Copies of this chain bind each other. A is one copy, B any other.
Amino acid sequence: MNLQVNIGGIKMKNPVATASGTFGLGREYSGFVDLNRLGAVVIKGTTLLPRLGNPAPRIAETPAGLLNAIGLENPGVEAVVEQYLPFLRQFDVPVIVNIAGDTVEDYARLAQRLDRQVGVAGLEVNISCPNVKKGGMLFGSDPDSAAEVIRGVRASTSLPVIAKLSPNVTSIAAVAESVAQAGADALSLINTLLGMAIDIRSKRPVLGNIMGGLSGPAVKPVALRAVWQVFRAVKIPILGMGGIASGEDALQFIMAGAGAVAVGTANFINPAATIDVLKGIEDYMEENNILDINDLVGAAHR
């Protein structure tokens, strides 16, 4: 049974990765999950300089979903390289660094800093974060500005470049086509849906940052649709995510066209979610005599 997949040049021993921002910098869940068993670890969004993030409350629970407005709290790229990557290098797992910037140049400089960095297997370019004032989703909402960021990153690194797209657009396929042309090796979809919650006692938005990003099982149908549409529009591989909590969920994404999947919010509910998703995929393949996971990619289109 072959589980190995290749996402834009990143070789993964199986198709199950962690979603950025839901698995910290790798160490936090290492007591619950053997990192060696994962297909890839995608770490928290990283910026050039350290960031404090947004004021509390940063999360709110919604029906089968989670709103977050963390605001890219992170120790900055230098600290990530010096203090956190060494821990991850102990494991036999590709590490993908999620990068975010305020300007096109920020992204390029991050890409440069991480280029040829031992222990970095690829970059996930976050042009879809709804929780920061500058950059983030603004870039990802428009095919042209999205392409501009990706071109800058592409020119600054020889690492595989994954563009992470926002679902908060009229046509995600148009953005996908644009970043593919700009040189992205793969696509991650989806980032969170823009949402909010209001506390009727205080009559104020629940989140410190007012709006936030919706993730978790609630968004799964939207994420699957995005993967389905983008699979028809572009040829580069897709890392699918959005509400995946079980092997069955992951298989839906793979059949819709994802070459691999990432588990996000589900880690909070089940710290072993990644491993359970992987087992679920393996069980299905065994029961259905699927010898190669790659044979299932896009199966629902046939």
Asked if A214 CB lies within 8 Å of chain B CBs, one says yes
Q: A141-B170, A195-B224, A222-B195 are in contact. Are A64 and B67 (CB under 8 A)?
A: no
Contacting pair A248 B200 (CB below 8 A)? yes
On A, residues with C-beta under 8 Å from B are 62-65, 67, 141-142, 168-170, 193-198, 200, 203-205, 210-212, 214, 216-222, 224-225, 228, 243, 248, 251-252, 255-256, 284, 296, 299-300, 302
Q: Which chain B residues border A217 with CB–CB below 8 Å?
A: 62-64, 218
The residue from B65, B198, B212, B224 contacting A300, defined by CB atoms under 8 A apart: B198
- The 6 A-B pairs at the shortest CB distance, nearest first, are namely A195-B221, A63-B217, A64-B64, A218-B218, A63-B64, A198-B252
User: 24 A-B Cβ contacts within 8 A?
Assistant: A62-B221, A63-B64, A63-B217, A63-B220, A64-B65, A64-B218, A65-B218, A141-B170, A142-B170, A168-B170, A169-B169, A194-B225, A196-B224, A196-B256, A197-B252, A198-B255, A200-B255, A203-B296, A203-B302, A204-B300, A205-B300, A214-B221, A214-B222, A218-B219
Contacts of A284 in B (CB 8 A): 200
Q: A63-B243, A194-B222, A203-B299 are in contact. List 19 more A-B contacts (CB 8 A).
A: A62-B220, A64-B64, A67-B221, A141-B170, A142-B170, A168-B170, A169-B169, A195-B221, A195-B224, A195-B225, A198-B256, A200-B248, A203-B300, A205-B300, A211-B225, A212-B221, A214-B221, A217-B218, A218-B219
**Nearest chain B CB to A242's CB is how many angstroms away?**
10
Q: Which residues of the other chain, B, contact A63 by a CB distance below 8 angstroms?
A: 64-65, 216-218, 220, 243
Q: Which B residues touch A299, using CB under 8 A? A: 203
Copies in the assembly, this chain: 2
State A246–B209 Cα separation when bound (angstroms): 25
A169 to B251 Cα, complex, angstroms:
28
Contacts of A195 in B (CB 8 A): 221-222, 224-225
- In the complex, what distance in Å separates the CA atom of A220 from the CA atom of B220? 14
How far apart are A299's CB and chain B's nearest CB, in angstroms? 5
A221 and B243 within 8 A (CB): no
CB-CB < 8 A to A256: which residues of B?
Answer: 196, 198
**Please, which residues of chain B bring their CB within 8 A of the CB of A219?**
218
Please give, as numbers and ranges, the residues of chain B lying within 8 Å of A255 by CB-CB distance.
Answer: 198, 200, 203
CB nearest neighbor in B for A200: B251
Q: Which B residues touch A220, using CB under 8 A?
A: 62-63
Contacts of A67 in B (CB 8 A): 221
Output the residue of A205, A210, A216 with the most chain B CB within 10 A: A205
Given contacts A170-B141, A170-B168, A299-B203, contact A222 B198 (CB under 8 A): no
**Chain B residue at smallest Cβ distance from A193:** B222
- Measured between beta carbons, the chain B residues less than 8 angstroms from A248 are 200
Closest B residue, CB atoms, query A175? B170
